[in-house]
Amino acid sequence: MTEIPSLDLDPFSIEFFDNPHPVHEVLREAGPVVRLAKWNIYGVARYAEVHAVLNDPIAFCSSRGVGLSDFAKEPPWRPQSIILEADPPEHTRTRAVLNRVLSPSVMKQLRSSFVAAAEARVDALLAKGSFDAIADLAEAYPLSVFPDALGLKPEGRENLLPYAGLVFNAFGPPNQLRQDAIARSAPHQAYVAEQCQRENLAPGGFGACIHAQADSGDITAAEAPLLVRSLLSAGLDTTVNGIGAAVYCLARFPDQWARLRNDPTLARNAFEEAVRFESPVQTFFRTTTRDVEIGGARIGEGEKILMFLAAANRDPRRWDNPDQYDITRRTSGHVGYGSGVHMCVGQLVARLEGESVLTALAKRVASIKITGPATRRFNNTLRGLESLPITIKAA
Amino acid sequence: MPSINFIHPDNRSERIEATIGDSVMQVATAHGIDEIVAECGGNAMCATCHVYVDEGWLPRLAAMSEEENELLDGVAAERRPNSRLSCQIKLTPEFDGLVVRLPDRQI
């Protein structure tokens, strides 16, 4: 059996978040699996191993939590998710419900309003000229379409981003980021619990569709609010960081921006490549349910495995020129949305939002210039910016 | 090894040697058949690996699941009676010579 190298680094420190790429390389090159002594866990950072762990949900389970906390040893900080933190066969049933709610035919119905909202947003930003690409575009656009698609009331939506930030910080270890987020969480949790109830969700939205599935018996009335909560947890901050990543890429790499301007039909792939390149969701955990073998090394039952999705998405064993943002790259197979049975159930919504924004930019904007320091927002799971001052000029 | 004939929207035909056990989608993406996008990587979520299966071959395919049937309602190109998702067609030796036509768009 292969010996597992032990590394001393902390993949949840601010220094690491500030510039993770060199450390990702260290993790990949150390071996197919590494021991991370600081948190008493294992890590996989190469594409092949990350993909293998994601695609074996029986040996590498989610029901003991997809963060550092092992639900077999401590209670979850909030009631356990019945989709994210569940395994087949239980997961199969709840997943089928959200698959239907977020299906390609539903996206066809949403497309025209999502496109119109992106065009209106870009027009308003062109009138301004200079603005913050994070607050005024990456956050403002999803906030203008997703809560309405879900059927949320207008009041209280300011809780959405803090709640999502909390959920993704809570996957991390008990560091300052996680403790601060949980300490401030009470009002956001109360808001979310309330909005998941049937009477607070407008007819025709994703939330009402989920509750309707309880009528047909596919889920129970008690399960419906928990599935709505999944969309409130994971449906907004992820696309904020995805759109932020795409705009940051296009602003930094003018040759790629020129290609997109030249052919706006590349918008969807340009967004997809930004998800690979920046990996807005950086990591997830699994827990071993038995003795397993990874890359010739043996790991026992009940161990936490940290999957570095972002490192896998730049593994030179899998990708040509992985550190280049290339909007014509064949991106299929990247793990930015995960892979296997838990692969992001909202991926079609994310792509529709990303494509709508990038298409509107490509058709209406001639140039994007970064005009001030890009500052980072730190989160235990999400990678993205706090602020990106830019100036755009009309085409 | 079974071979698959992919017919492009311009009627150009491309014959590809496939590995038993792979899906038609995997064969297409591994060989640069650009008409197959396969955004969701074979999870039967996205309907961007849509193909039209040659009528002669259609009865030999495994019946489609309810999920696949629902997804096919969302395909970008026209849905026809011989529409299938290529990620759901797993190759066995008897599929040697399978003919699939590629739609003009997936998104």
In a domain, A280, yes or no: yes
pLDDT in tens, A194-248: 999 999 999 999 999 999 999 999 999 999 999 999 999 999 999 999 999 999 9
Query: Which residues 49-68 in chain B show a CB within 8 A of chain A?
Result: 67
Range of the domain at A45: 6-394
Verify whether the Cβ–Cβ distance B46 to A348 is below 8 Å.
yes
Verify whether the Cβ–Cβ distance A333 to B47 is below 8 Å.
no
Which of B32, B37, B70 lies nearest to residue A103, judging by beta carbons? B70
Task: Give the model's pLDDT for residue B32.
Answer: 85
Whether B45 and chain A come into contact, CB under 8 Å, resolves to yes
Neighboring chain A residues of B73 at a CB cutoff of 8 Å: 104-105
The residue ranges of every structural domain in chain B are 3-101
| Burial classification of residue A346, based on how many CB atoms lie within 10 Å of its CB (0-12 exposed, 13-18 middle, 19 or more buried) | buried
Compute the CA torsion angle A221, A156, A336, A27 (nearest 10 deg): -110
Task: Report the gap between the CA of B54 and the closest CA in chain A (Å).
Answer: 24
Task: Give the model's pLDDT for residue A15.
Answer: 97
Neighboring chain A residues of B45 at a CB cutoff of 8 Å: 99, 343, 345, 347-348
Task: Report the gap between the CA of B23 and the closest CA in chain A (Å).
Answer: 14
Average pLDDT over residues B3-24: 95
Average pLDDT over residues A339-349: 94
Whether A108 and chain B come into contact, CB under 8 Å, resolves to yes
User: Residue A393, SS3?
Assistant: strand
Separation between Cα atoms, residue A368 and residue A391, nearest integer Å: 6
Task: Give the model's pLDDT for residue A306.
Answer: 98
β-pairing, B98-101 vs B3-7, is parallel
In a domain, A277, yes or no: yes
Q: Which long-range contacts (CB under 8 A, 24 or more apart) does B11-17 make?
A: none
Verify whether the Cβ–Cβ distance A339 to B41 is below 8 Å.
yes
pLDDT in tens, A132-167: 999 999 999 999 999 999 999 999 999 999 999 999
Q: Tell me which residue of A19, A117, A125 sits closest to A390, measured CA to CA.
A: A125
- Banded model confidence at residue A1, pLDDT cuts 50, 70, 90: low
Task: Give the model's pLDDT for residue B45.
Answer: 84
Task: Report the gap between the CA of A176 and the closest CA in chain B (Å).
Answer: 35
Return mean pLDDT, chain A: 97
Which residue did the predictor score with more confidence, B41 or A329? A329
On the question of pLDDT at B43 being above 90, the answer is no
Beta bridge partners of A42: A35, A305
Neighboring chain A residues of B38 at a CB cutoff of 8 Å: 332
Give yes or no for a contact between B42 and B50, defined as CB atoms under 8 angstroms apart: no
Q: Is CATH 3.40.140.10 correct for B3-101?
A: no
On the question of pLDDT at A105 being above 90, the answer is no
Question: How many angstroms from the chain centroid is the CA of residue A274?
Answer: 12
In a domain, A148, yes or no: yes
Residue A368 is part of a domain; what is its CATH number?
1.10.630.10
Give Dmax (Cα) for chain A. 63
Among the listed ranges A225-229, A288-292, A304-308, B25-29, which one has the minimum average pLDDT value? Answer: B25-29
- HSE-up of A290 (CA within 13 Å, CB side)? 6
Q: Tell me which residue of A359, A383, A382, A353 sits closest to A142, measured CA to CA.
A: A353
Give yes or no for a contact between A377 and A386, defined as CB atoms under 8 angstroms apart: yes
In a domain, A380, yes or no: yes
Neighboring chain B residues of A93 at a CB cutoff of 8 Å: none
Residue of A nearest to B38 (CA): A332
Return mean pLDDT, chain B: 93
Q: Dihedral sign, CA of A232, A235, A237, A238?
A: positive
Task: Report the gap between the CA of B37 and the closest CA in chain A (Å).
Answer: 7
Whether A111 and chain B come into contact, CB under 8 Å, resolves to no
Roughly what angle, to the nearest 10 degrees, separates helices A206-215 and A140-150? Answer: 20
Task: Give the model's pLDDT for residue A2.
Answer: 80
pLDDT in tens, A9-39: 999 999 999 999 999 999 999 999 999 999 9
Q: Give the count of domains, chain A.
A: 1
Instruction: Report the residue of B40, B85, B86 to disrupt the A interface, i.e. the one with the largest count of A CBs within 10 Å.
Output: B40
| Burial classification of residue A327, based on how many CB atoms lie within 10 Å of its CB (0-12 exposed, 13-18 middle, 19 or more buried) | buried
In a domain, A1, yes or no: no
Neighboring chain A residues of B50 at a CB cutoff of 8 Å: none
Query: Which residues 65-104 in chain B show a CB within 8 A of chain A?
Result: 67, 70-71, 73-75
User: Residue B36, SS3?
Assistant: coil
Task: Give the model's pLDDT for residue A342.
Answer: 95
Neighboring chain B residues of A345 at a CB cutoff of 8 Å: 45
Q: Tell me which residue of A172, A147, A149, A141 sits closest to A160, measured CA to CA.
A: A147
